[in-house]
A and B are shown apart, each in its own frame.
Chain A
Amino acid sequence: MTAPAQPPATPDLLYSQDEEDLRSAVRALLADRADAPTVIVAAESATPYDQGLWEALATGIGAAGLLVPEKLGGQGASHREAAVVLEELGRTVAPAPYLTSSVVATETLLALTGTGGITPAGDSGPAAALLAELASGSRTAVLAVPFATPPGGAQAALAALDGTVQGIADAAVADVLLVPTAEGLYAVGATAPGVAVEPLVPLDLTRPLAALTLSGAAGTPLAGPDASATAVRRGLLAGAGLLASEQLGIAEWCLAETVRYTRERHQFNRPVGSFQALKHRMAQLWLEVVSARAAARNAADALATGSPDAPLAVAVAQAYCSGVAVHAAEECVQLHGGIGMTWEHPAHLYLKRAKADSIAYGTAGRHREAVAELAELPAP
């Protein structure tokens, strides 16, 4: 057995000036419209999503169309830029269907339109039409598979457009559901007859989950079984890869906020941040955060360049960044003491998001299994 292939090219792990400009725009918008008190209030309401915020992000900044080529109505940017948007969304845990609609559903549809060469003539089909709407932010869509599905583990959940799929992220706010069935991939309108979307109570309040039940529903066929499986896999791979950037954003916020708080909070006549037992924990977290940044950038770059290394880059990023985000959020709660356990402090929102994200698109354990296969380190 041979060693795993070296990555084909050296990835660009830095941020470009354009990416930094995009970051500033998104950060300013979120600071304005999605500060922690706003997010907490919204999370408990019946409508966690702020439609105005979504329009400003999706349309105003043009974030929804970053992955979509210009000829299909998008910005013609790449996963590198989308990753920067997700870092910022992670830093604020702002509820927005960005990951589910603008990344996973979008990437799934992209696989059906000639980008990637699966069905070269697809530029004018129904997938392309829906893509244009998603890219403009005028409609949102989600892939109707459980949020925990890893890229390699997607099977058609339904035999036909009949039955129930549990735990779909953002389904409750989506206009269109992309339903993989044994017969192929269908676009189903959320309010069409025979379609029931039932909200569930999620661990992560800032990303709603719902169950989808189809009974005699009709949908627009987008692809046959083989093309569907390939497209779904590609959508989930992009989702898992860019989720790492959201996890990086979560971890960054948790560390920065914990450092800020422990510098100010006094006990025993000293700032608690001057105690070495705490300093070492925060220094360790810092090291994890800078490492998570390298892993997340590598995944985003591999996806952006269509590198054959992308599956391994994504698996490595997920196997690593999930744990970093959870660790940072747990330390954030602990080092804030009693205040960290309260509802009004935002720490819990980050813990809930981090823990849910550690399951989304496959746990670290599932991604290590993928590493075992891709790096040729088989189980006994």
Chain B
Amino acid sequence: MSPAVDAAEVRRRTRELLAAHPPATTGRTDFLKARFDAGLAWVHYPQGLGGLDAPRSLQQAVDAELAAADAPDNDPRRIGIGLGMAAPTILGYGTDEQKRRFLRPLWVGEEVWCQLFSEPGAGSDLAALATRAVRDGDDWVVDGQKVWTSSAHAARWAILIARTDPDLPKHRGISYFICDMTDPGVDVRPLRQITGEAEFNEVFLSGVRIPDSHRLGPVGEGWKVAQTTLMNERVSIGGSRIPREGGMIGPVSRTWRERPELRTHGTHQRLLTLWVEAEVARLTGERLRQQLVAGQPGPEGSGMKLAFARLNQEISGLEVELLGDEGLLYGDWTMVRPELVDFTGRDAGYRYLRSKGNSIEGGTSEVLLNIVAERVLGLPAEPRNDKDVAWKDLSR
């Protein structure tokens, strides 16, 4: 056990870091590397892996101190999949060698990650996936097609699940890998989406050789490993405080205040209802954060994605309508391949269209409601006929 680290100690170390690497004169990447090495990247991670084995709640003290000193951050929006999903999975299931190799460049942002999970025939029913990985000496040879892969065009690495034993029932024949996106067998093709841009991609895998040392967790246990990833994907809220009007309700409220000529009684009622709901969602998130800090994590996290998805869609829909003539226009349909999803920097029409993805990406709202009903409320599962049948015998 490491000596107990408390808030004062964390603050002391943060000041030490700032003294040794003044943000004003240190390059961004160098500062981030030093921060990682000081254990101040994610304080709840182990020593030597960017952390201090400290309670997660102490991260706030670090972040506040660094923000006050104007230190560069690692742009969590750009490296969201790596930070939110790959890292906790590697930490939970990786070998020491894997943790040492991948976590530092991931956190610093030198290496972007993507998630090769969904397939044309396997979305909500992810365990139905058909991408094959066949053992060949020290390697696995992977063939298949993935789809809707965000940031694949910018990614250096991917977390990948593939079928390693089609004779077993679908949940049991899956293994989990780290895939090198620069491998010649990896073909990333932009997939244009509803907003006009290509934020996600199709990824074709043909004869991709993945060394066995890049497997995460035991052969055939990939589904269990993937559960860690998915749980972290859905509960990525937490950590940060949102100010009042911090979400999508902010722009529409400002428009309401600044442009009285747009106001109608009908939109007023909708705005007030949504303003209240956004404020309550903010408070619910804050309560969840306080529970985490107090070491009593509640199941509320699984609900927050549902709440924000619905709110984002309703609020952005109201915003387009409120804008009237301007709501008929759209900023730019050019197909770009963005490096990050920037909700607030774009216009209302973009927000309206992009928010439609909020109830689909990372598990649809219908699937999340099933999860809440069964895991939180303990309601009985629906009868299923695919659990004990070999994957190869399932009708697809």
Contact = CB atoms under 8 A, between A and B. Distances in A.
B260 A380 contact: yes
Interface stretch (B21-29, B108-116, B205-213, B368-376): B368-376
Interface in A276-331: 276, 278-280, 282-284, 286-287, 290-295, 297-298, 316, 319-320
A145 interface: no
Interface in B263-280: 263-265, 268-269, 271-273, 275-277, 279-280
B245 A294 contact: no
Given A377-B256, A380-B264, A294 B287 contact: yes
Contacts of B366: 280
B98 interface: no
B257 A1 contact: yes
Interface stretch (A54-62, A173-181, A182-190, A368-376): A368-376
Interface stretch (A7-15, A38-46, A146-154, A194-202): A7-15
Contact of A270 (B254, B260, B281, B383): B383
Contacts of A1: 257-258
Given A279-B369, A286-B303, A290-B303, A273 B265 contact: no
| B243, B272, B296, B382 interface centre (most CB from chain A within 10 Å) | B272
Contact of A293 (B258, B287, B372): B287
A13 B269 contact: no
29 contacts: A3-B253, A4-B245, A13-B283, A13-B290, A262-B379, A263-B380, A270-B383, A274-B379, A274-B382, A279-B370, A279-B373, A282-B379, A283-B373, A283-B376, A286-B377, A290-B284, A290-B298, A292-B280, A295-B283, A319-B272, A368-B269, A368-B273, A368-B276, A371-B272, A375-B275, A378-B260, A379-B268, A380-B265, A380-B268
Interface string B79-101: 00000000000000000000000
B379 A259 contact: yes
Contacts of B250: 3
A376 B369 contact: no
A305 B243 CA distance: 20
Contact of A291 (B273, B307, B382): B307
A156 B263 CA distance: 34
Given A297-B287, A368-B272, A372-B272, A290 B373 contact: no
B309 to A, nearest CB: 11
- Which 10 pairs from chain A and chain B are nearest by CB? A279-B373, A380-B263, A274-B380, A283-B372, A294-B283, A13-B287, A1-B257, A294-B284, A283-B369, A368-B272
Contacts of B387: none
A103 B16 CA distance: 52
A276 B260 CA distance: 44
Given A3-B245, A286-B303, A294 B379 contact: no
A185 B381 CA distance: 59
| B291, B296, B376 interface centre (most CB from chain A within 10 Å) | B376
B241 interface: yes
A124 interface: no
Interface size class of A (residues with CB under 8 A): 35 or more
| A3, A287, A297, A320 interface centre (most CB from chain B within 10 Å) | A287
Interface residues of B, number: 52
Nearest to B285: A294
A379 B265 contact: yes
Nearest to B374: A279
B306 interface: yes
Contacts of A287: 303, 306-307, 372
B379 A377 contact: no
Contact of B244 (A7, A273, A278, A372): A7
B339 to A, nearest CB: 30
A267 interface: no
B331 interface: no
Contacts of B245: 3-4
A6 B272 contact: no
A37 interface: no
Contacts of B290: 12-14
A120 interface: no
B300 interface: yes
A325 to B, nearest CB: 14
A249 B263 CA distance: 37
A190 to B, nearest CB: 38
Nearest to B243: A6
B379 A263 contact: yes
B275 A377 contact: yes
B287 A280 contact: no
A4 B257 CA distance: 11
A216 interface: no
Contacts of B3: none
Interface in B225-266: 241, 243-245, 250, 253-254, 256-258, 260, 263-265
B277 A377 contact: no
A280 B369 contact: yes
A3 B252 CA distance: 11
Contacts of B294: 14
B284 A291 contact: yes
Contacts of B243: 6
A316 B380 contact: no
A372 B241 contact: no
Interface string A337-361: 0000000000000000000000000
